[in-house]
Amino acid sequence: MSNPPCVNPGHLLTGSQGDNVHDMHDRGRGNVGSVNGQAKLTEDQVREIRAKLANGVMAKTICAEYGLAPATVTHIKQRRTWGHVA
């Protein structure tokens, strides 16, 4: 996703950095998920991981299958990362 190239001052709003971050996410312009160039997983893989965890597959097995650190699997499970994925 990218920002539209408009530079019309009438389209700008004043606000804090926090306001800008919330606006960015509300408009779907954040660099989250597989759009992030450093992402190692896709949204579908995150759904698979959560389904496997819900079905009793051990995190250690998932780590080996996807090449992830244990903390990464824990964070996915707790929605500390990839929280936008339903």
For the chain, how big is the Rg over CA atoms in Å? 17
Span between the terminal Cα atoms of the chain, in Å: 19
The helix/strand/coil state of 54 is helix
Residues written for the chain: 86
- Enter the DSSP assignment of 36: S
Residue 4: per-residue pLDDT: 65
Taking the chain (86 residues) in consecutive chunks of 10 residues, what is each chunk's mean pLDDT?
Answer: 71 85 82 84 97 98 97 97 91
Cβ atoms of residues 66 and 49 within 8 Å: yes
Query: pTM to 2 decimals?
Result: 0.71
How confident is the model at residue 3, as a pLDDT? Answer: 63
* Residue found by looking up tokens 């998932």 in the block: 62
What residues does each domain of the chain span? 9-77
- Scanning the structure block, which residue is given the tokens 């896709």? 42
